A and B are shown apart, each in its own frame.
Chain A
């Protein structure tokens, strides 16, 4: 039965370890089940869903930028970013903020344990639905269009510096996206406080 289930949870009992060894998760006391499901399981699902959406967005936006670049510059079949930039974009420039989403908590431990019905909403699968995917698809398309078309409008002699401009904007936009998706920010950090801090340092 434990192996037929999507996720098997085994209890270490006096009868032996058979059930717990066959399970995906093993707990020592039955009271730990609520903590495992309502707190750890719930957070794991929500944060994994958010990270998946970010990874999809990260890949789509760079594809759309390449697509729009080719359209704007007379169907030029040249990659806008070279291999080093693409490698940097998918590793050191965007990985750490996206991974920091793992530490995010949408509500406190007490609330989750007090209102187990919060878990029920996850069963609807809205976090990773077709609608959610289309929303992030649209977000990628919009941001890529603004970055490329905006760069062409705002900057002069764009062609020679297109990679520099759009890549820098892309990094900033990705960091801002992470900022707006994180619910429980560390040290109660807000954009206004950052702006105040920059103004304070500058003057």
Chain B
């Protein structure tokens, strides 16, 4: 999973250099726009992740309970 996510990021960043007629490449690599972009991505994802963690902690599924027992 880790390698697939990192691989996709690398593929995206490499491929956009070839797509300079479609995307503004200099703008993407500007650190301010990177921060803003990441901020937006996290804002759109975080509520669902918090819900996911809340569900895992408060109402775990049977397999989650078994996994916890196995770890202990």
Query: Which residues does A use to contact B, with CB under 8 Å?
Result: 82, 84-85, 88, 92-94, 96-97, 99-100, 103-104, 106-108, 111, 115, 118, 121, 139, 142-143, 146-147, 150-151, 154-155, 160-161, 163-165, 167-169, 171-173, 175-182, 185-187, 189
Nearest CB of B to A7, in Å: 23
Contact partners of B67 in chain A: CB under 8 A: 107-108, 111
Q: Is A150 in contact with B1, judged by CB distance below 8 angstroms?
A: no
Closest 8 CB pairs of A and B: A172-B41, A107-B63, A146-B44, A100-B4, A176-B45, A143-B44, A96-B4, A189-B2
Q: Is B1 in contact with A178, judged by CB distance below 8 angstroms?
A: yes
Q: Is B8 in contact with A94, judged by CB distance below 8 angstroms?
A: yes
Contact partners of A180 in chain B: CB under 8 A: 45, 48-49, 52
CB under 8 Å from chain A, chain B span 31-61: 33, 36-45, 47-49, 52, 61
Q: Is B2 in contact with A185, judged by CB distance below 8 angstroms?
A: yes
Main secondary structure of the interface of B (DSSP, over half): helix
Interface string of B1-36 (1 = CB under 8 A from A): 111110111011001000100111001100001001
Q: Is B1 in contact with A146, judged by CB distance below 8 angstroms?
A: no
Q: Is B40 in contact with A150, judged by CB distance below 8 angstroms?
A: yes
Q: How large is the interface on B (under 10, 10 to 19, 20 to 34, 35 or more residues)?
A: 35 or more
Contact partners of A169 in chain B: CB under 8 A: 37, 40-41, 44
Q: Is B1 in contact with A186, judged by CB distance below 8 angstroms?
A: yes
Q: Is B23 in contact with A164, judged by CB distance below 8 angstroms?
A: yes
User: A171–B47 Cα gap in the complex (Å)?
Assistant: 18
Q: Is B24 in contact with A164, judged by CB distance below 8 angstroms?
A: yes
Q: A84-B22, A161-B27, A169-B44 are known contacts. Are A175 and B70 too (CB-CB below 8 A)?
A: no
